[in-house]
């Protein structure tokens, strides 16, 4: 099979996070909690650390707010979840959200970056051997990369129970995309899909950028993602209450079988060594 050298896209590299431009910070006439000072109050108190608005020891305020916002935005959406509800769940105060993020829209975009970071770091932890890997040298190596990629999708997306809240947030963005979807797409989804397409193309001898390969890849990846998105119906039909390690192993084995069947058919009955 002839192909031009292709650089392996980094599916598993944790995304680079950049602070949102334009995020509000306390003005010089405000203290660290966002409250205004008047001249009658006398000299300003020393500036507090970023964690101090939450009145909780340690510098975990920002992380607690992101976790709480992910939970509530996933359950209710951007407009139905209030800043006060987020602050209450995070055991912070409203001024802390303003201090760290600006407003609710900026917090929502930060949650999208948080989601991308969670997925990227877990994928990298599960499959470090193909982070920044060179393109596979032959179809057999590409098939091994695909097996690892699909095992990783199952372990990360289905195996982690706390991925439910991530899935809820992403599903809302899938149905009604906003600027938050652009963040998740660019930092995780596109990278993952391009990597799998490259390996699928090498494994089958097809053009990785062809519509056929892109669609086949979505269908294969979707088998794993469906188990998280449709968790309630899957578990009920299986008579199970959760995805156990043995059930996950069975799922991964079946998905590998599906992968081999598709690749073998497209290669005309065999995978080259």
- Give the tens place of pLDDT for each residue, 160-178: 988 999 999 999 999 999 9
Per the CB < 8 A criterion, the answer to whether 92 and 56 are in contact is yes
The string of pLDDT tens digits covering residues 213-260 is 999 999 999 999 999 999 999 999 999 999 999 999 999 999 999 999
pLDDT band at 38 (very low <50, low <70, confident <90, very high): very low
3-state secondary structure of 36: strand
Q: What is the pLDDT of residue 161?
A: 87
The string of pLDDT tens digits covering residues 50-64 is 333 444 445 599 999
Average pLDDT over residues 67-86: 96
Q: How many separate helices (H) and strands (E) can be counted in the chain?
A: 11, 0
Retrieve residue 126's tokens.
Answer: 């599960």
Burial category of 206 from C-beta neighbours within 10 Å (exposed 0-12, middle 13-18, buried 19 and up) = middle
Model confidence, pTM: 0.76
Q: What is the pLDDT of residue 133?
A: 75
Q: What is the pLDDT of residue 47?
A: 39
Per the CB < 8 A criterion, the answer to whether 108 and 169 are in contact is no
How does 161-187 read in b/e, with b if 16+ C-beta sit within 10 Å? eebebbbbbbebbeeeeeebbebbbeb
**Is 35 a residue whose pLDDT tops 90?**
no
- Greater confidence, 269 or 34? 269
Average pLDDT over residues 64-82: 96
> What is the maximum span of the chain, computed from C-alpha positions, in angstroms?
84
Q: What is the pLDDT of residue 268?
A: 82
Q: Half-sphere exposure of residue 2, counting CA atoms within 13 Å on the CB side?
A: 0
What's 30's DSSP letter? B
Beta bridge partners of 30: 36
**Is 266 a residue whose pLDDT tops 60?**
yes
How does 44-66 read in b/e, with b if 16+ C-beta sit within 10 Å? eeeeeeebbbbebeeeebbebbb
Per the CB < 8 A criterion, the answer to whether 142 and 235 are in contact is no
CA–CA gap between residue 85 and residue 69 (Å, rounded):
9
First-to-last CA distance in the chain? 13
**Is 146 a residue whose pLDDT tops 90?**
yes
Average pLDDT over residues 256-265: 96
């Amino acid at each position: 099979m002839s192909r031009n050298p292709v650089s392996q896209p980094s599916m598993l590299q944790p995304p680079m996070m950049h602070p949102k431009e334009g995020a509000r910070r306390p003005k010089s006439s405000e203290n660290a909690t966002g409250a205004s000072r008047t001249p009658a109050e006398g000299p300003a108190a020393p500036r507090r650390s970023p964690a101090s608005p939450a009145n909780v020891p340690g510098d975990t305020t920002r992380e607690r707010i992101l976790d709480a916002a992910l939970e509530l935005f996933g359950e209710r959406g951007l407009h139905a979840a209030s800043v006060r509800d987020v602050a209450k769940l995070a055991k912070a105060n409203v001024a802390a959200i303003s201090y760290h993020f600006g407003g609710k829209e900026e917090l929502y975009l930060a949650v999208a970056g948080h989601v991308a970071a969670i997925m990227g770091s877990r994928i990298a932890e599960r499959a470090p051997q193909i982070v920044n890997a060179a393109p596979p040298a032959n179809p057999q190596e590409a098939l091994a990369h695909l097996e690892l990629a699909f095992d990783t999708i199952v372990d990360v997306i289905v195996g982690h129970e706390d991925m439910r809240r991530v899935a809820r947030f992403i599903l809302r963005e899938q149905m009604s995309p906003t600027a938050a979807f652009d963040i998740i797409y660019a930092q995780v989804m596109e990278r993952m899909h391009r990597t799998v397409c490259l390996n699928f193309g090498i494994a089958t001898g097809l053009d990785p950028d062809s519509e056929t390969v892109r669609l086949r890849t979505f269908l294969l990846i979707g088998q794993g993602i469906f188990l998280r998105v449709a968790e309630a119906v899957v578990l009920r039909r299986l008579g199970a209450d959760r995805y156990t390690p043995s059930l996950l192993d069975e799922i991964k084995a079946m998905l590998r079988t599906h992968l081999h069947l598709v690749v073998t058919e497209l290669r005309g009955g065999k995978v080259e060594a």
